[in-house]
Amino acid sequence: MIRIALAAETDIAGWRDAARGLLRAQIAPADVDWQVGRDSLFDHAGDDRSSVGGRANDIPPPRGPQPVISKELLRQIETALLHSDPERFALGYRIVYRAQSEPKIFLNPADPDMHRLRGLSKSIRRDIHKMHAFVRFRKIGSDENGRESFVAWFEPEHHITLAVAPFFRNRFTGMNWLIVTPEASIAWDGQTLATGPGGAKSDVPQEDAVEAEWKAYYGAIFNPARLKTKAMLAEMPAKYWKNLPEAALIPGLTREAETRMNAMIDKEQTAAIAIKDVMAPAQAHGFTDLDSLYKALSAATDYPQEDFSPTLVPGEGPGDAPMMFVGEQPGDQEDQAGRPFVGPAGQLLDRALAAASVNRDQAYVTNAVKRFKFVQRGKRRIHSKPSNQDVEYYRWWLEQERQIVQPQVIVALGATAVRALTGKSLTISRNRSQLIDYRDGAKLLITVHPSYLLRLPDGAGQKVEYEKFLRDLAMAQSALAA
Amino acid sequence: MAKLDRLQKLTILADAAKYDASCASSGSIKRNSKSSGGIGSTTGMGICHSYAPDGQCISLLKILLTNVCMFDCHYCINRSSSDVRRAAFTVDEVVDLTMDFYKRNYIEGLFLSSGIIRSPDYTMEMLVQVAKKLRIEHKFGGYIHLKTIPEADPALLADAGLYADRLSINIELPSDAAIAEFAPEKSGPLIRKTMADLSGRITEAKVERRKSRKAPLFAPGGHSTQMIVGADASDDAAILQTSAKLYTGVGLKRVYYSAFSPIPDASKRLPLAAPPLMREHRLYQADWMLRFYGFSVGEIIANAQGGLLDLDVDPKMAWALMNRQSFPVDLNRAPREMLLRVPGLGTKGVGAVVRARRFGRLRLADVERLCRSTRKMRPWIIAEDWHPGARLDSDMLRAQMARPAKQMDLFAA
């Protein structure tokens, strides 16, 4: 029995030299005992050939020619030798020994020795891959030029620390870094890749300011509706968790996943909008036609007057129209003409109605607030948004108007109309484009005010919003037909 | 509303991005920072830096620039009518966040998408700015995946390809009719046209690159898309036919399938149920059969009941069960194309069998060493010391091959 003592767990050069000598001396694999020298267990000069020299003397003198080993086979073996399996050196020698008589052995994936070797190198590649993935740097500072320095702690399963150093240098060239493992450490300062002795977890800082953001990201990117912990564990086994800051979140996220998904499903089923009648039921009023209604409205003197034009702009259209449009208030041009929707927004509405094949003659158009509110700027009268009190004053009149016309579909154009019709401030974007049950079996459809489309700055954006508006109008029209 | 800090924005905009299935950082060129002195590298194979409890790989920082959107696509959490909280990053915030995460080795790079604000052009320009700033100002060598907006100016797409490794446009739904119904602002023909344009540019850049190493790169990682499964009524047959057309017609690298999962404040026109994860899995398997195993869509869906893939057995097994006359396959003689059709034998296994049988006739024990398991394979193969005999004709075969009952959840209380 020949005992070969290698200098260190990663003494691959030592193994190579010894294997060459043993092959030349024609020593059978069964007669070799591979060991890693106890005294040199903490010697990290893995590539230092001189440390092997003395022990190689134990090998008997050469009996045959220089052995031939294919480069590819040697590469495969040297990867496998990074494994922590103590049998790896013997396995490697057995394969190169067999390769002397079966040179193509490494091409046969079904050979039991090659199968085992493949198993080892596969776990090495995996360990290297996981180290590339799971090292987490923490920042320790930066120098006067702004060059930052980072430190990481990692516990690989096999002897791979030195093998991964080039990867980290090529990736993190523009910063200084140090990776400490129990067995060795590697460092980069922008000039040289240095190796050093191993260390302890307490050697590296235990926190980093950005980690809170990373954890927030980890929690937010997780979809609770797709819980698959087995798939996660297969790729990120629990043994790695202790050095991954985000792993602390896993139990909580897992536990709450089902509750969160069910909450989303339950919420949807109860989310249908219900417009409750929040306005006191209209008193018996005696108005049977629009003329008498508007006569009474113009006679009333308690209306809000500050900032308002005195001109009353009545609604317009057939008194029995199946569709009613409610806008905000008359504008400058409407105020002058005494008719609703004749200005730019009205013209846009006309165009849209035509494009959506809504019959303009069937529609009754009116405003939530019947007079023009403005501020004077020089010669111009600038539109001013009616207050909730203004809306509240005219609301009662709007409801009378609706009861006379009795439309099947009411289209609320913009937030003021929505408030006037529902008594609530509802978000347009969330509630638009659907037919909502309204009083007396009518349907309410909420959409934007045409003046919103005119205010959009950009051609393309305007087009998108205009198309949406058209779809809303078409939806209102379809409710009529139904 | 109070101004949101970076962490709050990140939480909102990552939450908004998670319905994009792709997180791949593979398939691009190899690149490192050795000569640039910057930060970042790509190895070509991609690295998953973490895994969420949903089993999804976390490789890239996957966020939206903003979840404010003019479009109103029913299946989308960010549609204009949704009740979600809105936020918007600035270009610099995304750039800094990417660098901060990358330097701590949390990620391989950035996957940036966005809701459409102001206009498609404006939005696309912001996305390109992020990529440009990372590459030029920060000498960033990591992976960049940009979502492209079909409605944007083609010149902006051309810019995007200069800085990104991968570009993608989500087709979302398999038919133009479904797109018109559920994503009214989008257009199927425009999406396909833009994909075809991208494909043309990618191929052209590759040809130029072969002539000169100095020719500019254009999205070297190719382009991909995503289809939502289970939101509309399209069956698997329709989905796979669309995929096949995309793979051959516009040279897509990948089609991702995303089981529609309930989103907060969903549109009322969508199914409110747990996502059809098994259906999604079967579609991925069928997709693999199209790309790597030489099957045609017709063969895969020939026996699909109601146009849906069998959920109990994988599609390759389903094909074998319906085509028993083609089996058993002799592992020691059969051509590669036929080996690829054996259930339980993958592309790697086929390669190993072909290499190993040069050294001698394979026995079952040899096959066990070449492949992970022979359980699924046994009824379908002949080896030196193995013949399935009557098993192949057994009525029980389907039941034996069906997936085992669901196992207990590891974290269940």
- Quick check: is A284 in a domain? no
Tell whether B218 and B335 lie within a shared domain: no
* Residues paired with residue A374 on neighbouring β-strands, in sequence order: A383
Strand extents, DSSP E, B335-410 = 381-382
Strand, helix or coil for residue A145:
coil
* Residues paired with residue B64 on neighbouring β-strands, in sequence order: B113
The answer to whether residue A49 scores a pLDDT higher than 60 is no
Place of tokens 């100016």: B153
Q: Are B167 and B146 in contact (CB under 8 A)?
A: yes
* Residues paired with residue A176 on neighbouring β-strands, in sequence order: A149
Lowest-confidence region among B25-39, B177-191, B258-272: B258-272
What whole-number percentage of chain A has pLDDT above 70? 91
- Among A152, A210, A250, select the one facing B53 at the smallest CB separation: A250
**What residues of A are in contact with residue B106 (Cβ under 8 Å)?**
136, 214
A246-265 b/e (C-beta count within 10 Å ≥ 16 → b) = bbebbeebbeebeebbeebe
Mutate to test the interface with B, among A464, A471, A475 (most CBs of B within 10 A): A464
What whole-number percentage of chain A has pLDDT above 90? 64
CA distances (Å), origin B196, targets B193, B247, B251: 5, 11, 8
Tell whether B250 and B381 lie within a shared domain: no
Place of tokens 């200069």: B162
Q: Are A190 and A173 in contact (CB under 8 A)?
A: yes
Tell whether B60 and B193 lie within a shared domain: yes
Quick check: A174 and B38 CB within 8 A? yes
- pLDDT tier, B233 (very low <50, low <70, confident <90, very high otherwise): confident
Tell whether A57 and A140 lie within a shared domain: no
Q: Are B114 and B126 in contact (CB under 8 A)?
A: yes
- Quick check: is B275 in a domain? no
- pLDDT tier, A284 (very low <50, low <70, confident <90, very high otherwise): low
Quick check: A107 and B262 CB within 8 A? no
- Quick check: is B102 in a domain? yes
Tell whether A111 and A181 lie within a shared domain: no
Tell whether A364 and A388 lie within a shared domain: yes
ipTM confidence score: 0.91
**What residues of B are in contact with residue A174 (Cβ under 8 Å)?**
33, 36-39, 139
Considering B206, B235, B255, which residue would you say is the last residue of a domain? Answer: B255
Tell whether B231 and B369 lie within a shared domain: no
Residue B172 per-residue DSSP state: B
- Quick check: is B260 in a domain? no
Distance of CA B43 to the CA centre of its chain: 19
- pLDDT tier, A462 (very low <50, low <70, confident <90, very high otherwise): confident
- Quick check: is A158 in a domain? yes
Question: If you average pLDDT over residues B265-285, what whole number do you get?
Answer: 83
Domains in chain B, number: 2
- Quick check: is A274 in a domain? no
Residue B230 per-residue DSSP state: S
Backbone angles phi, psi at A188, to 5 degrees: -135, 130
B 70-89: CB under 8 A from A: 70-72, 80-83
Tell whether A196 and A244 lie within a shared domain: no
- Quick check: is B45 in a domain? yes
Quick check: A268 and B266 CB within 8 A? yes
Quick check: A222 and B18 CB within 8 A? yes
- Quick check: is A282 in a domain? no
pLDDT of residue A43: 45
Considering A130, A156, A173, which residue would you say is the last residue of a domain? Answer: A130
Long-range contacts of A241-250 (CB under 8 A, 24+ apart): A243/A134, A243/A136, A243/A153, A243/A154, A243/A155, A243/A201, A244/A134, A244/A136, A244/B50, A245/A136, A245/A211, A245/A214, A245/A215, A246/A214, A246/A215, A246/A218, A246/B50, A248/A215, A249/A215, A249/A218, A249/A219, A250/B53
Q: Are A46 and A119 in contact (CB under 8 A)?
A: no
pLDDT of residue A440: 85
Tell whether A294 and A407 lie within a shared domain: yes
Nearest residue in chain B measured CA to CA from A271: B265
Tell whether A299 and A419 lie within a shared domain: yes
Nearest residue in chain B measured CA to CA from A107: B355
- pLDDT tier, B72 (very low <50, low <70, confident <90, very high otherwise): confident
The answer to whether residue A175 scores a pLDDT higher than 60 is yes
Residue type, A391: V
- Quick check: is A278 in a domain? no
Q: Are A409 and A442 in contact (CB under 8 A)?
A: yes
B181/A contact by beta carbon, under 8 A: no
Residues sharing a CB contact under 8 Å with residue B339, sequence separation 6 or more, in sequence order: B329, B331, B345, B350, B353, B354
Tell whether B354 and B240 lie within a shared domain: no
Cα of A336 to nearest chain B Cα, Å: 34
Quick check: B52 and A251 CB within 8 A? no
Task: Return mean pLDDT, chain B.
Answer: 90
Cα gap B242→B178, rounded to integer Å: 13
User: Computed from CA positions of residues B150, B153, B158, B161, in that sequence, does the dihedral angle turn out positive or negative?
Assistant: negative
Task: Return mean pLDDT, chain A.
Answer: 88
- Among A229, A265, A458, select the one facing B119 at the smallest CB separation: A458
Nearest residue in chain A measured CA to CA from B280: A226
Tell whether A180 and A115 lie within a shared domain: no
Mutate to test the interface with A, among B39, B42, B50 (most CBs of A within 10 A): B50
The answer to whether residue B94 scores a pLDDT higher than 50 is yes
- B329-330 vs B381-382, strand pairing mode: parallel
- Among B121, B141, B185, select the one facing A464 at the smallest CB separation: B185
Q: How many CB pairs under 8 A join A and B?
A: 242
Quick check: B410 and A433 CB within 8 A? no
Place of tokens 């909502």: A436
B 303-362: CB under 8 A from A: 352, 355-356, 358-359, 362
- Tens digits of residue pLDDT in B359-370: 999 999 999 999
- Strand arrangement, sheet containing B143-147: B60-64, B109-113, B143-147, B166-168, B223-229, B254-259
Residues sharing a CB contact under 8 Å with residue A214, sequence separation 6 or more, in sequence order: A245, A246, B101, B104, B106
Q: Which residue has the higher pLDDT, B22 or B110?
A: B110
Tell whether B225 and B321 lie within a shared domain: no
B48/A contact by beta carbon, under 8 A: yes
- Quick check: is A229 in a domain? yes
pLDDT of residue B383: 94
B 117-146: CB under 8 A from A: 118-122, 139, 141
Domains in chain A, number: 4
Q: How far apart are the first and last CA of chain B?
A: 40
Question: What range defines the domain where residue B385 resides?
Answer: 315-401
- Quick check: is B305 in a domain? no
| Among the listed residues B77, B102, B56, B59, the one whose alpha carbon sits nearest the alpha carbon of residue B13 | B77
Tell whether A116 and A57 lie within a shared domain: yes
Quick check: A223 and B57 CB within 8 A? no
pLDDT of residue A424: 83
Tell whether A327 and A473 lie within a shared domain: yes
- Among A107, A112, A173, select the one facing B355 at the smallest CB separation: A107
Question: If you average pLDDT over residues B333-337, what whole number do you get?
Answer: 95
Backbone angles phi, psi at A176, to 5 degrees: -90, 140
pLDDT of residue A455: 87
Nearest residue in chain B measured CA to CA from A243: B50
Considering A151, A174, A203, which residue would you say is the last residue of a domain? Answer: A203
The answer to whether residue A282 scores a pLDDT higher than 60 is no
- Among B33, B58, B370, select the one facing A221 at the smallest CB separation: B58
CA distances (Å), origin B197, targets A63, A270, B157, B158: 69, 45, 9, 10
Tell whether B114 and B241 lie within a shared domain: yes
- Quick check: is B409 in a domain? no
Strand, helix or coil for residue A34:
strand
Cα gap A171→A162, rounded to integer Å: 15
Residue A11 per-residue DSSP state: -
The answer to whether residue A422 scores a pLDDT higher than 60 is yes
Cα gap B300→B315, rounded to integer Å: 7
The answer to whether residue A40 scores a pLDDT higher than 50 is no
Q: Are B149 and A461 in contact (CB under 8 A)?
A: no
| Among the listed residues A449, A349, A463, the one whose alpha carbon sits nearest the alpha carbon of residue B185 | A463
Tell whether A119 and A38 lie within a shared domain: yes
Quick check: B411 and A251 CB within 8 A? yes
- Among A139, A264, A461, select the one facing B264 at the smallest CB separation: A264
Residue type, B385: D
Cα gap A454→A347, rounded to integer Å: 11
pLDDT of residue B235: 92
**What residues of B are in contact with residue A469 (Cβ under 8 Å)?**
none
pLDDT of residue A272: 47
- Among B7, B103, B261, select the one facing A150 at the smallest CB separation: B103
The answer to whether residue A237 scores a pLDDT higher than 50 is yes
Lowest-confidence region among A136-145, A211-220, B71-80, B218-227: B71-80
Nearest residue in chain B measured CA to CA from A166: B34
**What residues of A are in contact with residue B366 (Cβ under 8 Å)?**
110
CATH of the domain at B241: 3.20.20
Considering B231, B255, B279, which residue would you say is the last residue of a domain? Answer: B255
- Tens digits of residue pLDDT in B297-308: 999 998 788 889
**What residues of A are in contact with residue B104 (Cβ under 8 Å)?**
136-139, 150, 208, 210-211, 214
Lowest-confidence region among A48-52, A170-174, B213-217: A48-52
- Quick check: is B276 in a domain? no
Tell whether B136 and B52 lie within a shared domain: yes
Q: Are A154 and A198 in contact (CB under 8 A)?
A: no
B229/A contact by beta carbon, under 8 A: no
Count, in order, helices (H) and strands (E) of chain A: 17, 14
| Among the listed residues B273, B277, B323, B141, the one whose alpha carbon sits nearest the alpha carbon of residue B220 | B141
Cα of A16 to nearest chain B Cα, Å: 27
Question: What range defines the domain where residue A233 resides?
Answer: 211-269
Considering B239, B255, B271, which residue would you say is the last residue of a domain? Answer: B255
- Quick check: is B38 in a domain? yes
Alpha carbons within 13 A on the beta-carbon side of B391: 17
CATH of the domain at A383: 3.40.470.10
Tell whether B188 and B54 lie within a shared domain: yes
Mutate to test the interface with A, among B74, B371, B411 (most CBs of A within 10 A): B411
Tell whether A306 and A347 lie within a shared domain: yes
Residue type, A425: S
The answer to whether residue A458 scores a pLDDT higher than 90 is no
CA distances (Å), origin A403, targets A281, A319, A386, A468, B381: 12, 10, 24, 29, 80
Place of tokens 């992020």: B130
Question: If you average pLDDT over residues A45-62, what whole number do you get?
Answer: 55
Residue type, B21: A
pLDDT of residue A75: 93
The answer to whether residue A234 scores a pLDDT higher than 70 is yes
Cα gap A184→A195, rounded to integer Å: 7
Cα gap B38→A170, rounded to integer Å: 9
The answer to whether residue A437 scores a pLDDT higher than 80 is yes
Nearest residue in chain B measured CA to CA from A470: B184
- Tens digits of residue pLDDT in A311-370: 999 999 999 999 999 999 999 999 999 999 999 999 999 999 999 988 888 899 999 999
The answer to whether residue A200 scores a pLDDT higher than 90 is yes
Tell whether A390 and A467 lie within a shared domain: yes
B261/A contact by beta carbon, under 8 A: yes
Q: In this structure, what token pair is assigned to residue B125?
A: 């320009």
Tell whether B38 and B135 lie within a shared domain: yes
Distance of CA A35 to the CA centre of its chain: 51
- B57-58 vs B50-51, strand pairing mode: antiparallel
Considering A130, A157, A186, which residue would you say is the last residue of a domain? Answer: A130
B 87-106: CB under 8 A from A: 97, 100-101, 103-106
Q: In this structure, what token pair is assigned to residue B55?
A: 């089993």
- Quick check: is A348 in a domain? yes
